[in-house]
């Protein structure tokens, strides 16, 4: 066998299931022990400083700078006692990753001794050289200054002996260069608008927060096999590779017994996650072989996003110990299920009431219906923007497949609520007598208690109501979900404000509150009817129907990015004050830029694989066939030899044909890149890459995979799908 692949398989065979982070204590004893949480703050801070931080967390108040030194000193004492030597501001640049620049605590005292020091100013703000982060034109490299500033609503924690401080990242001129700022602003927008609606029903509610539960799907690959594949190493996905004879046809992986090596890895990262206060609740095998999922208990959205980002870092670190690689890529393997990050989204009041919980009392029903119909209306209004927010090169390979959410938006609500909505719609609402309005209200009041555990689940819907929350399933597994969540929040905030305005208008016309609310709920239901779909989202009929309803799906990724800069979206961002026009333009530019660069990298790796790995291997194999045919011709009479070699010669010719086409296409792809690379305008460049480079990649893959089926297994240089997916 090709020595490269053989060595990888030999190394794989030595990898055993083993635990590295065993902690015998009950989880409750060490949960969040590496987080500077409430207990730690009480111990290390004065009561005023403690108050300042907690009210910043609970009420979103700014921390008085006079406390900064004390808070920093307290944090440092705690961190140093726990073995930390460094601190870092951890932020989320516009690249879907996290960024960190470490500084050590050590300093010189006045008398020249080495001491640990951490000043308030260093806690509150830092100035990393920001020139290498994408800014979408908001900051030229000569004025590279960017600031990171502490976000006290997400607590500091220790990872790898480093005190990590969750922060926002702004440019010198005050523009957001990260995902956290728009997320935080959108959460504030939701709070404001949701209160306008909720206070119609309950004056005592003062704050509304968003809760998020993020289900994280991922693949596991042995690291020796991973290293033997340049495509996995550089692109996190296989660019070529024939499907294995078996993948998920038998549906025997989903919820199956977790392989022991993977289980050891899971237990280890769970232990470490618990110490960081991440409440992991579920773990299971996913649909595809070697695909898994974990999910923490939901929590406040900003914290949930930070936890998810840290969890991904942690999983990668822990996997190393186990000689495993975690693939967060949306589609690492062609022909089988890709990975997403299901975002379970809901809103909750400061009184602990879930606004998406249908509840049991009529009054609550009306409040629930107001919020519920506003969310659906919001998703309808900005359906294409929401899909554009999940669009990326990676997700392009995943969405629309038969195991992934469709690339066109729809909302599934389940049979019970569908009936409720339809019955509200069908009340022939007229503006005449109030008495009949009262009767209609009684119908709403008589709606049976809507069961929390809404059992009819529809896995084919990108946006599904699941009993007390919505689940947005189209979001990719590798991304920072803030990028879609802030858009969802904006859209909902806008609708909730509109809701209140409409109700106020009716009330100022003399209509009673409850009737006014019902009228608006009904209007929203009717207006957003087109987004609701209870059937099979994978079916051809739905795609035709969606087109009839004017719902656009994502077919061309750069094209979909234009949704960011259309009038309606710009107005949304402006109205909710979540992004300035310059920031929107930057998001738009960066999305295009990342698309182009990723595709460029993939195309380069593809060229290398074909020219330097696949074609030489195919030639080697072809030569053995040629030698063999020649030998037969020497040994046998011409007529016999011709018959015996007939198929052989065909295979030799076939290999030549594939090699020829591969060379042609790699050459064509390089030329296409060259032409695209000289285009200055980033939008056009992304579009040209998508239209010219992408099709070459698809065509090249087909021929390479055909060769894999012909060439001697001994010679094939790359670990195959059956090895990547079934070696555990
Ligand atoms: P499934 O895969 O069946 O959808 P999981 O148990 O894997 O469910 O994940 C469900 C996620 O939804 C968990 O993170 C859970 O905490 C979260 N969740 C439950 N209720 C809510 C809610 N009201 N708001 C937000 N997230 C929620
Ligand atoms: Mg789910």
Per-residue confidence (pLDDT) for residue 449, from 0 to 100: 53
The angle at the Cα of 665, spanning 662 to 671, to the nearest 5 degrees, equals 145
Which atom of ligand 1 is closest in space to residue 346's alpha carbon?
A: 24
142 versus 375: the higher-pLDDT residue is 375
The verdict on 173 and 276 lying in the same domain is: no
**What would the pLDDT profile of 665-678 be if each residue is shown by its tens digit?**
999 999 999 999 99
**What would the pLDDT profile of 306-327 be if each residue is shown by its tens digit?**
999 999 999 999 999 999 999 9
Say if residue 62's pLDDT is above 70. Answer: yes
Which atom of ligand 1 is closest in space to residue 466's alpha carbon?
A: 4
The verdict on 392 and 473 lying in the same domain is: yes
The verdict on 448 and 549 lying in the same domain is: yes
Which ranges in 37-87 belong to alpha helices (H)?
38-44, 47-59, 68-81
**Please, what's the b/e burial string for 191-228 (b: 16 or more CB within 10 A of its CB; e: otherwise)?**
bebbbbbbebbeeebeebbbbbbbbbbbbbbbbbbbbb
Binning pLDDT at 50, 70 and 90, where does residue 358 land? confident
In a domain, 695, yes or no: yes
Say if residue 640's pLDDT is above 80. Answer: yes
- Where in the sequence is the domain holding 695, given as residue range(s)? 594-724
The verdict on 252 and 360 lying in the same domain is: yes
| Token code pair at residue 344 | 């379970």
Q: What is the mean pLDDT of residues 584-603?
A: 96
Angle between helix 362-381 and 415-426 (nearest 10):
90
Q: What is the mean pLDDT of residues 14-20?
A: 94
Residues in the chain: 728
Binning pLDDT at 50, 70 and 90, where does residue 439 land? low
How far away, in angstroms, is 298 Cα from ligand 1 center? 6
The verdict on 505 and 613 lying in the same domain is: no
Q: Is the CB of 498 under 6 A from ligand 1?
A: no
User: Which residue, by CA, sits nearest to atom 12 of ligand 1?
Assistant: 213
Q: Is the CB of 489 under 6 A from ligand 1?
A: no
Last residue within a domain, chosen from 556, 579, 602:
579
Across 55-59, 259-263, 672-676, least confident range = 55-59
Per-residue confidence (pLDDT) for residue 516, from 0 to 100: 95
The verdict on 315 and 387 lying in the same domain is: yes
Q: Is the CB of 528 under 6 A from ligand 1?
A: no
173 versus 540: the higher-pLDDT residue is 540
The verdict on 629 and 649 lying in the same domain is: yes
Q: Is the CB of 33 under 6 A from ligand 1?
A: no
**What would the pLDDT profile of 655-707 be if each residue is shown by its tens digit?**
999 999 999 999 999 999 999 999 999 999 999 999 999 999 999 999 999 99
How far away, in angstroms, is 359 Cα from ligand 1 center? 18
Among 255, 344, 470, which is best to mutate for testing ligand 1, by the most ligand atoms less than 8 A from CB?
Answer: 344
In a domain, 412, yes or no: yes
The verdict on 170 and 201 lying in the same domain is: no
Under a CB-based contact definition with an 8 Å cutoff, are residues 677 and 689 in contact? Answer: no
**Helix or strand run (H / E) with residue 101:** strand 99-104
2 versus 311: the higher-pLDDT residue is 311
Q: Is the CB of 341 under 6 A from ligand 1?
A: no
Taking Cα atoms as reference points, which of 328, 366, 322, 690 lies closest to residue 477? 328
Per-residue confidence (pLDDT) for residue 97, from 0 to 100: 83
445 versus 720: the higher-pLDDT residue is 720
Among 190, 287, 305, 469, which is best to mutate for testing ligand 1, by the most ligand atoms less than 8 A from CB?
Answer: 469
Cα–Cα separations (whole angstroms), residue 339 to 217, 238, 486: 5, 14, 21
Q: Is the pTM of this model over 0.75?
A: yes
For the domain that residue 221 is a member of, what is the CATH number? Answer: 3.30.590.10
In a domain, 589, yes or no: no
**What would the pLDDT profile of 144-168 be if each residue is shown by its tens digit?**
677 888 888 899 999 999 999 999 9
Per-residue confidence (pLDDT) for residue 63, from 0 to 100: 77
Under a CB-based contact definition with an 8 Å cutoff, are residues 341 and 217 in contact? Answer: yes
595 versus 125: the higher-pLDDT residue is 595
Binning pLDDT at 50, 70 and 90, where does residue 431 land? very low
- For the chain, the average pLDDT equals 91
For the domain that residue 111 is a member of, what is the CATH number? Answer: 3.10.20.70
For the domain that residue 610 is a member of, what is the CATH number? Answer: 1.20.120.1560
The verdict on 475 and 608 lying in the same domain is: no
Quote the CA–CA distance of 515 and 2 in Å, as a whole number. 76
Kindly report the backbone phi and psi dihedral angles of residue 281, in degrees, each rounded to the nearest multiple of 5, phi listed first.
Answer: -110, -45
Nearest ligand to residue 209 Cα? 1
Q: How many CA atoms lie within 13 A of 531 on its CB side?
A: 26
The angle at the Cα of 486, spanning 236 to 187, to the nearest 5 degrees, equals 135
The verdict on 327 and 432 lying in the same domain is: yes
Last residue within a domain, chosen from 119, 147, 178:
178
Q: What is the mean pLDDT of residues 196-221?
A: 97
Binning pLDDT at 50, 70 and 90, where does residue 125 land? confident
Name the 3-class secondary structure at 591. helix
Taking Cα atoms as reference points, which of 122, 124, 144 lies closest to residue 132? 144
Q: Is the CB of 452 under 6 A from ligand 1?
A: no
Percent of the chain with pLDDT over 90: 74
Say if residue 434's pLDDT is above 50. Answer: no
In a domain, 263, yes or no: yes
In a domain, 13, yes or no: no
How far away, in angstroms, is 326 Cα from ligand 1 center? 23
Q: What is the mean pLDDT of residues 421-431?
A: 69
Angle between helix 581-608 and 638-677 (nearest 10):
160
Q: Is the CB of 153 under 6 A from ligand 1?
A: no
For the purposes of burial, counting CB atoms within 10 Å of the CB of 79, is it exposed (0-12), middle (13-18) or buried (19 or more)? buried
Taking Cα atoms as reference points, which of 91, 125, 486, 124 lies closest to residue 310? 91
How far away, in angstroms, is 215 Cα from ligand 2 center? 7
In a domain, 587, yes or no: no
Say if residue 2's pLDDT is above 90. Answer: no
How far away, in angstroms, is 213 Cα from ligand 1 center? 5
In a domain, 9, yes or no: no
Q: Is the CB of 308 under 6 A from ligand 1?
A: no
Per-residue confidence (pLDDT) for residue 433, from 0 to 100: 35
| Token code pair at residue 119 | 């000043």
Say if residue 437's pLDDT is above 90. Answer: no
The verdict on 564 and 648 lying in the same domain is: no
| Token code pair at residue 428 | 């022939």
Quote the CA–CA distance of 551 and 354 in Å, as a whole number. 30
Nearest ligand to residue 216 Cα? 1
How far away, in angstroms, is 357 Cα from ligand 1 center? 13
How far away, in angstroms, is 330 Cα from ligand 1 center? 21
In a domain, 12, yes or no: no
β-strands 146-150, 162-171 pairing = antiparallel
Per-residue confidence (pLDDT) for residue 122, from 0 to 100: 87
Tell me how many domains the chain contains: 3
The verdict on 453 and 394 lying in the same domain is: yes
Which atom of ligand 1 is closest in space to residue 213's alpha carbon?
A: 14
Q: Is the CB of 298 under 6 A from ligand 1?
A: yes
Quote the CA–CA distance of 259 and 290 in Å, as a whole number. 9
How far away, in angstroms, is 342 Cα from ligand 1 center? 9
Among 209, 213, 345, 475, which is best to mutate for testing ligand 1, by the most ligand atoms less than 8 A from CB?
Answer: 213
DSSP codes joined into one string, 365-426: HHHHHHHHHHHHHHHHHTHHHHHHHH--HHHHHHTTSTTS--SB--EE--HHHHHHHHHHHH
Last residue within a domain, chosen from 134, 160, 178:
178
Q: What is the mean pLDDT of residues 459-464?
A: 90
Q: Is the CB of 340 under 6 A from ligand 1?
A: no
């Amino acid at each position: 066998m090709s020595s490269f692949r053989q060595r990888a398989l030999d190394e794989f065979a030595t990898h055993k299931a083993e635990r590295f982070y065993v902690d015998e204590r009950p989880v409750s004893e060490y949960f969040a022990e590496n987080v500077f949480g409430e207990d730690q703050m009480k111990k290390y801070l004065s009561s005023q400083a403690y108050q300042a931080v907690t009210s910043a967390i609970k009420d979103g108040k700014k921390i008085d700078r006079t406390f900064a030194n004390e808070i920093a000193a307290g944090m440092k004492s705690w961190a140093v006692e726990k073995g930390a030597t460094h601190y870092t501001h951890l932020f989320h640049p516009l690249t879907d990753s996290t960024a960190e620049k470490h500084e050590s605590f050590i300093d010189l005292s006045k008398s020249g001794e080495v001491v640990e020091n951490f000043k308030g100013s260093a806690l509150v703000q830092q100035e990393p050289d920001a020139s290498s982060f994408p800014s979408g034109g908001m900051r030229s490299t000569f004025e590279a200054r960017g600031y990171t500033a502490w976000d006290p609503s997400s607590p500091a924690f220790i990872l790898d002996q480093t005190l990590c401080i969750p922060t926002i990242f702004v440019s010198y001129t005050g523009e957001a260069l990260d995902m956290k700022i728009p997320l935080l602003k959108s959460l504030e927008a939701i709070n404001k608008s949701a209160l306008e609606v909720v206070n119609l029903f309950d004056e005592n509610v003062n704050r509304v927060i968003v809760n998020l539960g993020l289900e994280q799907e991922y693949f596991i690959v042995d690291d020796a096999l991973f290293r033997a594949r340049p495509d996995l190493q550089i692109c996190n996905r296989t660019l070529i590779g024939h499907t294995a004879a078996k993948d998920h046809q038998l549906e025997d992986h989903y919820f199956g017994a977790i392989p022991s090596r993977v289980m050891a890895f899971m237990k280890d990262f769970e232990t470490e996650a618990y110490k960081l206060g991440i409440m992991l609740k579920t773990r299971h095998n996913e649909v595809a072989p070697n695909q898994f999922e974990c999910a923490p208990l939901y929590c406040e959205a900003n914290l949930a996003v930070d936890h998810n980002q840290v969890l991904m870092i942690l999983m990668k670190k822990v996997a190393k110990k186990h000689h495993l690689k975690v693939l967060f890529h949306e589609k690492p393997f062609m022909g089988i299920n890709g990975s997403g990050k299901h975002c379970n989204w809901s809103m909750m009041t400061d009184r602990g009431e879930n606004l998406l919980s249908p509840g049991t009392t009529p009054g609550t029903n009306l409040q629930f219906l107001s919020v519920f119909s506003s969310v659906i209306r919001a998703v309808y209004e900005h359906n294409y923007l929401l899909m554009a927010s999940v669009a990326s090169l990676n997700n392009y390979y995943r969405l629309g497949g038969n195991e992934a959410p469709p690339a066109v938006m729809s909302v599934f609500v389940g049979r019970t609520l569908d009936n409720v909505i339809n019955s509200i719609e069908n009340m022939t609402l007229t503006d005449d007598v109030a008495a009949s309005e009262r009767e209609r209200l009684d119908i709403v009041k008589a709606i049976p208690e809507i069961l929390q555990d809404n059992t009819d689940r529809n896995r084919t819907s990108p946006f599904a109501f699941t009993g007390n929350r919505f689940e947005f399933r189209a979001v990719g597994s590798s991304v920072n979900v803030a990028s879609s969540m802030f858009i969802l929040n904006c859209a909902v905030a806008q609708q909730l404000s509109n809701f209140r305005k409409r109700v106020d208008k009716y009330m100022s016309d003399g209509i009673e509150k409850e009737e006014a609310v019902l009228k608006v709920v009904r209007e929203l239901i009717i207006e957003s009817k087109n987004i609701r779909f209870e059937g099979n989202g994978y079916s051809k009929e739905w795609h035709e129907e969606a087109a009839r309803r004017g719902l656009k799906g994502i077919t061309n990724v750069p094209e979909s990015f234009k949704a960011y800069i259309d009038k309606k979206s710009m107005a949304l961002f402006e109205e909710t004050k979540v992004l300035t026009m310059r920031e929107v333009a930057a998001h738009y530019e960066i999305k295009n830029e990342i698309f182009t660069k990723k595709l460029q990298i993939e195309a380069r790796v593809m060229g290398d694989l074909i020219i330097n790995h696949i074609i030489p291997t195919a030639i080697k194999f072809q030569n053995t066939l040629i030698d063999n045919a020649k030998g037969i011709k020497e040994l046998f009479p011409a007529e016999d030899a011709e018959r015996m070699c007939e198929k052989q010669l065909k295979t030799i010719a076939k290999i030549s044909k594939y090699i020829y086409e591969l060379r042609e296409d790699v050459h064509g792809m390089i030329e296409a890149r060259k032409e695209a690379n000289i285009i200055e305008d980033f939008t056009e460049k992304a579009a040209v890459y998508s239209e010219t480079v992408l099709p070459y990649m698809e065509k090249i893959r087909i021929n390479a995979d055909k060769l894999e089926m012909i060439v001697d297994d001994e010679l094939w240089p790359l670990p195959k799908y059956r090895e990547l997916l079934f070696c555990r």
